[in-house]
Chains A and B, each alone.
Chain A
Amino acid sequence: MNPEQQYIELFEQCEAMICKHSAEVLNAPRARAFADFKQLSFPTRKIEAYKYTDAAKLFAPDYGLNLNRLDIPVNPYDVFKCDVPNLSTALYFMVNDRFYGKALPKNNFPAGLLIGSLKELSTQYPDLLAKYYGKLGDTSKDAIVALNTMLAQDGLLLYVPKGMAVEKPIQLVNILRADVNFMVNRRVLIIIEDGAQARLLMCDHTMDKVDFLATQVIEVFVGAGATFDLYELEESTTSTTRFSNLYVHQEADSNVLVNGITLHNGTTRNTTHVTLAGQGAHIDLCGMAIADKHQHVDNNTFIDHAVNDCTSNELFKYVLDDSATGAFAGKVLVREGAQHTSSQQTNRNLCVTRQARMYTQPQLEIYADDVKCSHGATVGQLDESALFYMRQRGIGEKEARLLLMFAFVGEVIDTIRLDALRDRLHLLVDKRFRGEMGKCQGCTMCSGK
């Protein structure tokens, strides 16, 4: 049986149940997504964009789903004690794909800001959400996006109306929780209207030892002159497989920072698609991965300079130990007429052992003649002369290696525009390199666990 078949049968049998436990806005694109899914196949390694992550193989096993929305008895506010000094975020939880709406914190957000369950809020604001939902995540191109659109029943909505500046950073902790091998299809919709400002930190955690397969589609609309920071931090387990598709659509003079950090994982594929649709839009797209054992991290990015005078800055760094594998593909498209584009891409990687493998592929496609574009990729080992210099000063080899690895990724952490988060990450990365983070022990953003 091909790996698509079980999902086709599942949808045919359960469509009514899926729809019943979701909302009209999410149900609307399902039929189309299903038609697309039947046309497409899960990408295998024969597909260039998935050359290093065999999606078909990863979707083949049989996972349980919770389409009937049975309650999962866990109160994350009890399980996760968050008391990071100085990082006072507005804290929310999602257990699997379900936004945890009980015992919500009082955050005194200005009236008009919406944050909460995508399902609930799309029932309350169908017109607003229908305008945006599913408009970026193209189901005709990628079977995984089609599958997510077919099956997703809930997730998060963040809506920041025109001109509103949200001071307090918002934090969403995603928890994977199940007793059997389990599949989760989560959906996130973010709308930052003209001139608005917000910062969102999403932390991914796995609570249980079973195998998880989690798909996620994030659609982000950033209006003219708006500013948005998205930090994604994965601290899952070696038996977690994550497929995340992030779409960012930017209007004129908007400023976006995306920083995706894989601190601990199993198999991760992050696909990022950025469209700079209005003049003067700017994106900083950063990422970092620390992987060992047989962990696998694949970041596939695409930045579309659709109009003139936009700027993009890409910086990805990997540290691969043991038999870990990493992949980075960065495509930048400068369309005809997108003059005065400035685009910079850097991918630097450390392979600490001979067994670690890194595949990097920068790709520029330029159809305008007055542009400034650069890219650079390196794969290397730790600088032996620096190691020896440190040892001569009395710093032991192990400590010297740690200091050098820490320094290597420091550049990515320093792009974070939230002081407390930046400091916290320096600490977490230090712990990670010292092997004190062998498994997910709850929200390490929080010192309580």
Chain B
Amino acid sequence: MLEIKDLHASINGKEILKGINLTIRDGEVHALMGQNGAGKSTLSNVLVGHPAYEVTKGSIIFNGKDLLEMSPEDRAHEGIFLSFQHPVEIPGVSMVNFMRAAVNEQRKYRGQPLLTASEFLKLMREKRAIVELDGKLANRSVNEGFSGGEKKRNEIFQMAMLEPTFAILDETDSGLDVDALRIVAEGFNKLRTPETSALVITHYQRLLDYLKPDIVHVLLNGRIVKTGGPDLAQEIESRGFDWIKKEVNE
């Protein structure tokens, strides 16, 4: 699915990623943990092609294609989805128009027929149920006036609409109460198939309790310094990161 090799990336001339190697196979969920400033969000931004980040070295191959050659929208069309850490408010653009544009652009790219208005609204209704999102949302502007929990649920709703093969969850658990966390996590699990993969960025064990990652990585100072099974996340939850730092002498 995804193969990252010796990836270096910087923002405003400052190198943040210093040689990332990461392979994610079909159906796998990987967790990426690490302290603030380790480069977790940089990695997710580079994967979706944020223009502020510059890749200085390395490669990213996604389903056999060179991801770094693609525009952000084409990466989306190829099946990459980012659940934003801070979803953006877009006043004046309704959720319906936003999602209709997104779904139809994707269908155009894939050579599928565009959805009719009624087909589209039916799809919206079905997918809304997955994250128990209020129907009134459809008429509101994108994320405008949404609570923190609603914004994160809205991210998973959009993921349900676009059915990506590879999803990045960037601190989707931040700012969520226990109930909202459960709804978001269960919503994500309902969307999983043996063909879909995910990279879950988090500080905490509680989201991983729901998502049950196959592999856990620890990112430190722009490099992956430790990789293990689900028990690594539990160990970090109880012991923190210092012991890992000592292990790698940083």
Q: Chain A contact residues: over half helix, strand or loop, or mixed?
A: helix
Q: Is the CB of A396 within 8 A of B91?
A: no
Q: Could you tell me the distance between the alpha carbons of A192 and B84 in the complex, rounded to whole angstroms?
A: 55
Question: Is the CB of B48 closer than 8 A to any CB of chain A?
Answer: yes
Q: Is the CB of A407 within 8 A of B77?
A: no
Q: Is the CB of B102 within 8 A of A395?
A: yes
List 17 extra interface pairs beyond A385-B88, A391-B72, A393-B98, CB under 8 A: A383-B90, A389-B84, A390-B98, A391-B49, A392-B48, A392-B72, A392-B76, A392-B84, A394-B76, A394-B105, A394-B109, A397-B73, A404-B90, A407-B90, A407-B91, A407-B141, A410-B92
Contacts of B92 in A (CB 8 A): 404, 406-408, 410-411
For the A-B complex, the count of residue pairs with Cβ-Cβ distances under 8 Å equals 74
B residues touching A (Cβ–Cβ < 8 Å)?
Answer: 48-51, 71-73, 75-77, 81-82, 84, 87-93, 97-98, 101-102, 105-106, 109, 141-142, 158, 162
Contacts of B51 in A (CB 8 A): 388
Instruction: Count residues on chain A whose CB falls below 8 Å from chain B CBs.
Output: 21
- 8 A Cβ contacts from A395-422 to B: 395-397, 399, 403-404, 406-408, 410-411
Residue among A383, A393, A396, A404 with max Cβ neighbours from chain B (10 Å): A393
Q: In the complex, what's the smallest C-beta–C-beta distance from B46 to chain A, in angstroms?
A: 13
Q: Could you tell me the distance between the alpha carbons of A396 and B106 in the complex, rounded to whole angstroms?
A: 10
Q: Could you tell me the distance between the alpha carbons of A397 and B75 in the complex, rounded to whole angstroms?
A: 13
Q: In the complex, what's the smallest C-beta–C-beta distance from A118 to chain B, in angstroms?
A: 40
Kindly identify which residue among A383, A403, A408 contacts B98, using a CB–CB cutoff of 8 Å: A403
Kindly identify which residue among A389, A403, A408 contacts B97, using a CB–CB cutoff of 8 Å: A403
Question: Is the CB of A180 closer than 8 A to any CB of chain B?
Answer: no
Kindly identify which residue among A389, A396, A408 contacts B87, using a CB–CB cutoff of 8 Å: A389
Kindly identify which residue among B75, B88, B141 contacts A389, using a CB–CB cutoff of 8 Å: B88
Question: Is the CB of A31 closer than 8 A to any CB of chain B?
Answer: no
User: Given A399-B101, A399-B105, A403-B101, do A391 and B76 touch, yes or no (CB 8 Å)?
Assistant: yes
Q: Is the CB of B102 within 8 A of A393?
A: yes
Q: Is the CB of B102 within 8 A of A394?
A: yes
Q: Which residue of A lies closest to B51 (CB)?
A: A388
Q: Could you tell me the distance between the alpha carbons of A397 and B105 in the complex, rounded to whole angstroms?
A: 11
Q: In the complex, what's the smallest C-beta–C-beta distance from B49 to chain A, in angstroms?
A: 8
Contacts of A404 in B (CB 8 A): 90, 92-93
Q: Could you tell me the distance between the alpha carbons of A176 and B200 in the complex, rounded to whole angstroms?
A: 63
Q: In the complex, what's the smallest C-beta–C-beta distance from B65 to chain A, in angstroms?
A: 16
Q: Could you tell me the distance between the alpha carbons of A391 and B49 in the complex, rounded to whole angstroms?
A: 10
Contacts of A394 in B (CB 8 A): 73, 76-77, 102, 105-106, 109, 162
Q: Which residue of B lies closest to A399 (CB)?
A: B101
Q: Is the CB of B90 within 8 A of A396?
A: no
13 pairs from A and B in contact (CB 8 Å cutoff): A389-B142, A390-B90, A392-B48, A392-B73, A392-B75, A392-B84, A393-B102, A393-B158, A396-B73, A396-B105, A397-B71, A404-B90, A404-B93
Q: Could you tell me the distance between the alpha carbons of A406 and B90 in the complex, rounded to whole angstroms?
A: 12
Q: Is the CB of A391 within 8 A of B71?
A: yes
Q: Could you tell me the distance between the alpha carbons of A389 and B105 in the complex, rounded to whole angstroms?
A: 15
